[in-house]
Chains A and B, each alone.
Chain A
């Protein structure tokens, strides 16, 4: 097989490149920016939380997403922490917990003592919580960087700062478009959903796992990273505007983080960011094909969770056009 070009070096592009490379297919990765992860995946939460996501997502997200944990563990063995997810709510919003529990599976209820045992710094703050033990998390930036290095070691070639159509310069058989929201102008069914996030740094609190803080209006999650850093996310706004975080969003995220634990009030805001998540009307991803170009898009908020399954399917489709995929929209 001739080399395959992959457009876009975000999570979808890199995961797809990996799936092709390990099948012995030569890959040429073409990226408009000067580095990997210039799009939404750089600002992702990195939660591999298919059971929690079921609260608002289709059954496919849970079923297919559940396989992503093993995929990331196999691809990047030392980058994935499988510590589960803790879901809490302020005392006045405990009904949100009940609602969450009716929409999801794969959890158990914890009482105050069990919460304290799991996350000592949250001791005394919540009387009940939901715990999803099988869920995992990773640092998206570390994961993307490792994947890049792994791909280079496997012989994949990266072309950064390229805006030209890769099929013109490279002798490739197929092109796989993984450019996410950059395809908004070319795909009428695709829309952008703005997500805003921020990084906080504090040594006053330690968490071992992502914590979701339910609230009827402003639910947030806090994901611990290395070096006393916490990622706080994320807004969901029907907008394709990629500008800096809005003051209101910043207030809401900070308010919720502070309500989760007052120590966040003393933290430093080390970064804020905005990503545009590409989504189709059902918020599920699609594989489409036009001539010799496959397109993987519409990951919505599930880039890290669903790209392994889509990448697997597109790799199999390249080798055998009759391979089925529940995400493939045949032309």
Chain B
């Protein structure tokens, strides 16, 4: 069981809803993943009154909890405004906070992010900030009121997988009591397993599933990979060593040669 703010969930896989071939395929993928939390971008889909209405109805019909996000926002002001719009549209205090600082790398603007996180936390939002693996930024976000952090493991949509394992490890070690969800950069199930083995609480994916040849099958693959990584973490793993250790001792044979 994982606690995310005050909600308890069993699936440690969060799924994004952008870029699927069709809403029907999205719906199949969500079902196959067993996810209980999906993210929805509010930025461009809601350019006006009835905009996005039908799509949002489909999303609501999936029966999961919705985590709206501020994808595509570049300033604190934009992000705060979008978060407030999201609260109205989806009737939730949850907001996945993204403030993009670089259009090419989609790297977060961590300064604006901290500022927006503080404003939104003070207004009663439960903020899920998309951040880097920088520990000082992470500390500032926690000070600002975040009880969940969402570090990248590689740039959004890059599918590169974890680029800096030691940074992710030290993040886990520094924030044992904060819910840590790897967001962005996961390309394949083994990437998800790797970060779950490090003790991260959950993984958020979008492109890796939406862009797969068969999104529903990939979603089910990721569900198993996330679970495998989590079970390994809970069970305790062997540390690698540089010599062989026979798993079956051979009785009667000299130990040293």
Chain B, residue nearest A193 (CB): B55
- Could you tell me if B44 and A191 are in contact, using CB atoms closer than 8 angstroms? no
Stretch from B17-25, B122-130, B170-178, B197-205 at the A interface: B17-25
**Given contact pairs A102-B213, A191-B58, A216-B157, A239 touches B24 in the complex (Cβ within 8 A):** no
- In the assembly, what is the distance between CA of A57 and CA of B21, in Å? 6
Whether A246 touches B47, Cβ cut-off 8 Å, given contacts A191-B58, A240-B53, A240-B54, is: yes
User: Is A241 within 8 A of B22, CB to CB?
Assistant: no
- Count the A residues whose beta carbon is within 8 Å of the partner chain — how many? 26
B52 and A239 form a contact (CB under 8 A): yes
CB within 8 A of B24: which of A102, A103, A184, A282? A282
In the complex, the answer to whether A190 meets B54 with C-beta atoms within 8 Å is: yes
The contact sample of 16 A-B pairs, CB cut-off 8 A, is: A58-B22, A184-B54, A194-B51, A217-B157, A237-B44, A237-B47, A238-B45, A238-B54, A239-B47, A240-B52, A241-B48, A241-B49, A241-B50, A241-B51, A246-B47, A281-B58
Residues of B within 8 A of A73 (CB): none
Given A190-B54, A239-B52, A241-B50, A281-B27 contact (CB < 8 Å): yes
Q: B25 to chain A: which residues have CB within 8 Å?
A: 282
Complex contact A243–B54 (CB within 8 A): no
| Complex Cα gap A191–B52 (Å) | 8
Interface residues, chain A, with chain B CB atoms under 8 Å away? 56-58, 99, 102-103, 184, 190-192, 194, 216-217, 237-241, 243, 246, 248, 279, 281-284
Determine whether B46 belongs to the interface, using a CB cutoff of 8 Å to chain A: yes
Residue of A nearest to B211 (CB): A99
Task: Tell me the count of chain B residues lying within 8 A, CB to CB, of chain A.
Answer: 22
Contact with A along B98-111 (1 / 0, CB 8 A): 00000000000000
A contact residues around B54 at 8 Å (CB): 184, 190-192, 238, 240
- Whether the Cβ atoms of B51 and A281 lie closer than 8 Å is no
Q: How far is the CB of B149 from chain A (nearest CB, A)?
A: 25
Alpha-carbon separation in the docked complex, A58 to B157 (Å): 23
**Separation of A240 and B22 alpha carbons in the complex (Å):** 16
Check A281–B22 contact: CB distance below 8 A: yes
Closest A residue to B23 by CB, please name it.
A281
* 20 extra A-B contacts, CB within 8 A, seeds A239-B48, A241-B50, A246-B44: A58-B22, A99-B211, A102-B213, A184-B54, A191-B23, A191-B58, A216-B157, A238-B54, A239-B44, A239-B51, A241-B48, A241-B49, A243-B47, A243-B48, A246-B47, A279-B22, A281-B22, A281-B58, A282-B22, A282-B23
B58-112 CB contacts (< 8 Å) to partner A: 58
A237 CB to nearest chain B CB (Å): 6
Neighbouring B residues of A99 by C-beta, 8 Å: 211
Q: Which residues of B contact A56 (CB under 8 A)?
A: 21
Could you tell me the distance between the alpha carbons of A58 and B20 in the complex, rounded to whole angstroms?
A: 12
Given contacts A56-B21, A216-B157, A281-B23, contact A240 B58 (CB under 8 A): no
Q: Which residue of B lies closest to A189 (CB)?
A: B54
The chain A residue sitting closest to B44, CB to CB, is A237
